[in-house]
Structure formats: structure tokens, C-alpha cells
Amino acid sequence: MSALQTRYKALSQSSLFVPVALAALLVVANIVLQPSFLRPHVIRSNLLTFSPLILVAMGQAVILIGGNLDLSMGFGISLLNCFIAMNMSVVPGAMGHNAAILGAGLAIALGMGAANGILVGMLRVPSFMATFATSFIWLGVAIMIAPIPGGAVPRWFAQFFKASFGPANVMLLVVVLSALAWYVVRRYRLGRYIYAIGSSWDASYANGIPVNRITIGSYAVGWCFVYLGTLALTAQTRAGDSAIGEPFALNSIAAAVIGGVSLSGGSGSPVGAIFGAITLSIVMNIIYFSGLPTSYQVLVRGLIIIAALGSTIVVRSAEASRS
């Protein structure tokens, strides 16, 4: 078998199978309930709505694979969103300024990731608690930047992700490129070592892997994805709001887990998290179009999530006992 074929075989048996199947199942259900789902403009609109969670879930997945967690993503998104919206200028001809703001935003995102990474990697604070603590810091700064929702973004920024071709738009391209970017990182030592430290911190250390630096690296890579997600979010909300990020923290974890990423680290893939996020997002769609009375929609959403989680685990352990 050629190297390509071997890799294909490995992929089909890999942890991606269940999340993709699950997402596919839900897409079908969605189509049944909402026949217009396959219309190009609906597809594009869904892509726009789902993508922030997709990208943030990818970021969370990278950190989870490294054996850690990041609960501060939610308020970090709030911070970045407020920063961008409050500082970008809608005045025409302010390209240089806006580019600088976007660059600064990336730097801030990397800074937040690095801060978390240093706490977890070098100061050895358990990631749950460390990121729980830093989330307060990010929220506070977000409120400082935007005490009440406000700000604005230039038109070109808002339209950027919407630019379309056929049923697809630039947003889809961004997600696909992100997935490809991950595959590149995976081929490098950084990618490999993130899996190593997630699987066994002790063994990684014994092998001379710079575990601290790799931990910081995993947070940095993760927050790159988070930043992309925030850009997608801000382009759509067109404003800064310190409350906007809150659901992302726990939702990104749920999406990653549904996407096959193990909470103990060392296995899974951010690409799986893409499908986990799609699954999570489509659930709301399905419930809406199912015609359930609104009072029951939240409840059914929770039940479906539990079912999705249960099925993920059950299928995985069935596979494991078979092999």
C-alpha cells in the first residue's frame, strides 16, 4: 500500500469517523425538517453563523490534545471583540490604522494564550483553575474597553467573510485553510509534541521534550484559531459587547468532545472539533424547524447534546473493545 493509501486507511479508522457521521446524520435531519437547507444562501448563512464556534472549538481542541483546558476563551473572545470593535475606524482611508488594530488584536490573543500557557506550563497550575482565574481578568479588561456595547467595524471587514462564490463563501475558505494549517503544524515537531505531552507528560519530559515550551506553544496555536473565530464573530455582530463570549468557553469544550477529542489529552483532532461544532450548532437549527413550542426548545437541545455525547462515548468504547 502506498503511503497515501495507508494514511487514508488510518483516517477512516481514526477518531474522525464518529464526529463526521454524527454531523452528517444531523445535516440529513435538518434537511428533512428544513428543505430550504440546501439552498445556497441558506448554506452560506449557516456557514457564517457556525464558523465562530467552529474556529474556537478548533483552538480548544489543540489545547485539549495537549492535556489541558482553557476556560478563559469565552471572555477572551469578549476582550478581543471589544478591542477590535472599539478601535477600528470606519473613516474611509484608515486602512493602515485598521490593519494595525487587527495585528494588535492578534498580538493580544497570542499574549492571552501565552499567559495561560506560562501559568499552566511553567508555573504548573492546573489548567482548569488557571484559566478559570484568568477569565476574570479578561472579562474585566473587556468591560473596561466597552462598558456598554458599542463600537463599529468598517464595511469591508464586515463583508469580507461574506464574499461568496456558489454555495460557498470566504468563511468556508477560512475554515478549510485553518484545517490545512493544522495538518501542517501536525507534520512539525510542535504538533507531534503536543500529542506527546497530552498523552504522557512524564514520558515526554523523560525524552527531553521541552514540555513547558510545548505547552505554551499549544496555547499559542489554540489562540490563533480563537482569534480567527473572533474576527468571524465581530464581522457579523459589527459591534463590541463584553457579554458576547460567555457561551463559547463551555460550548467549545462540548464541541471538541463531540468531535472526538479526549478530555485527558493525547488523542483526537481539531478537524474533528469542526464537525463537533457543526453538530452542536445544527441541533439548534433542528429544534427550531421541528416546530416545537419555544418553551421546550432549550430542554430538547440539552437532551440531544446528552444523547450526542453518550453516543460518541458508546461508539468509541465499542470500537476499542473490538480492536
Partner 1 sequence: MTPAAPLLPYRRHLSEYWRDFNKEIVSFSITILLVVVGGLISQGYSDIGYMILRIKVAAFVGIIGLIQATVILSGGGGIDVSVGTMASLGALFGAAIMQGRDEMLLPALLAIAAVGFVLGLVNGLMITRLRIHPLIQTLAMSYVITGIIVAYSQGRKLLGRPSPLLERLVNDRLGPLFIIILVWVALVVGMEFLLRRSRVLRKVTAVGTNERTALLCGVEASSVRTAVYAWSGMCASLFGALALGSVHTVYLDVGNQYLFPSVVACTIGGISLAGGSGSYVGVLGGALVYTFLQSFLVTLNIDEAWRKVLFGLILVAVLVAYSRSRTAK
Partner 2 sequence: MPAYVVEARQVSKNFGGVPALAGADFSCPPGSIVGLLGENGSGKTTLSRILTGYYRPSSGTVRYRGEVVSFRTPAEAARLGIGMVHQNFSLVPDMSVKENIWLGCEPLGRAGFVNDRRIGRELRTYLDRLCPWIRPEAKVSSLSPSELQLVEIVKALSRNPIFLILDEPTSALERQQVDAVFTLLRDLRRSGRSMVFISHRLHEVEQICDSIVVLRNGKTAGTVDLSGGGPVDYDRIVNLITGNREIAKEVRRFAEEERAPLLEVQGLGDGLRLFDVSLRVREGEIVGIAGLQGQGQEELLMALAGFRRTVAGRVALKGQALALHSPRRAIEAGMVVVPGNRQTEGLFMDRPVFYNATFPALVHRRGPFPSSRFERETSSRLVADFAIKASSLGTPVTALSGGNAQKLVVSKWLPLGPKVLLMSDPAKGIDVQAKAELYRIVLELAEKGTGILLFASDLHELITHCDRILVLYEGRVVDEVPGGAVDEEGLLSRCLRREPSA
Work out whether 188 is an interface residue with partner 2 (CB under 8 A): yes
Contact partner at residue 192 from partner 2, partner 1, none, CB < 5 to 8 Å by partner kind: partner 2
Contact partner at residue 314 from partner 2, partner 1, none, CB < 5 to 8 Å by partner kind: partner 1
| Amino acid letter, residue 309 | L
Nearer residue to partner 2 within complex by CB, 208 or 293:
208
For residue 192, give the C-alpha cell.
507531534
Write down how long the chain is.
323
Minimum distance from residue 203 beta carbon to partner 2 (Å): 5
Nearer residue to partner 1 within complex by CB, 5 or 294:
294
- Number of residues in contact with partner 2 under rule CB under 8 A: 19
Give the footprint of partner 1 on residues 154-173 (CB under 8 A). none
Question: 207, 296, 307, 314: which one contacts partner 2 (CB under 8 A)?
Answer: 207
**Cβ neighbours of 57 (radius 10 Å):** 36
Work out whether 124 is an interface residue with partner 2 (CB under 8 A): no
For cell 489554540, name the residue: 222
Contact partner at residue 209 from partner 1, partner 2, none, CB < 5 to 8 Å by partner kind: partner 2
Pick from 314, 317, 251, 315: nearest CA to 279: 251
Question: 39, 41, 124, 189: which one contacts partner 1 (CB under 8 A)?
Answer: 124
Report the distance separating Cα 236 and Cα 44, nearest Å. Answer: 13
Question: 48, 53, 63, 139: which one contacts partner 1 (CB under 8 A)?
Answer: 139
Work out whether 294 is an interface residue with partner 1 (CB under 8 A): yes
Is the sign of the CA dihedral 93, 104, 252, 266 positive or negative? positive
Report the distance separating Cα 128 and Cα 147, nearest Å. Answer: 27
**Cβ neighbours of 247 (radius 10 Å):** 12
Work out whether 294 is an interface residue with partner 2 (CB under 8 A): no
For residue 5, give the C-alpha cell.
493509501
Minimum distance from residue 179 beta carbon to partner 2 (Å): 18
Q: State the virtual CA torsion across 31, 281, 59, 317 in degrees, nearest 10.
A: -80
Interface region with partner 2, contact rule CB under 8 A, candidates 126-134, 139-147, 161-169, 204-212:
204-212
Work out whether 195 is an interface residue with partner 2 (CB under 8 A): yes
Partnered with residue 150 across adjacent β-strands are 240
**Cβ neighbours of 38 (radius 10 Å):** 12
Nearer residue to partner 2 within complex by CB, 198 or 260:
198
Do 232 and 48 touch, CB atoms closer than 8 A? yes
Nearer residue to partner 1 within complex by CB, 89 or 311:
311
- In order of 58, 89, 110, 230, the CA distances from 96 in angstroms are 30, 10, 21, 20
Pick from 276, 305, 226: nearest CA to 52: 226
For residue 291, give the C-alpha cell.
416546530
Interface region with partner 1, contact rule CB under 8 A, candidates 4-12, 85-93, 134-142, 163-171:
134-142
Do 126 and 265 touch, CB atoms closer than 8 A? no
Give the footprint of partner 1 on residues 240-259 (CB under 8 A). 250, 253-254, 257
For cell 506550563, name the residue: 121
Question: 133, 152, 158, 179: which one contacts partner 1 (CB under 8 A)?
Answer: 133
Binding positions for partner 2, rule: CB under 8 A: 187-189, 192, 195-196, 198-200, 202-204, 206-209, 266-267, 323
Binding positions for partner 1, rule: CB under 8 A: 119, 123-126, 128-130, 132-141, 143-144, 147, 250, 253-254, 257, 263-264, 293-303, 305-306, 309-310, 313-314, 317
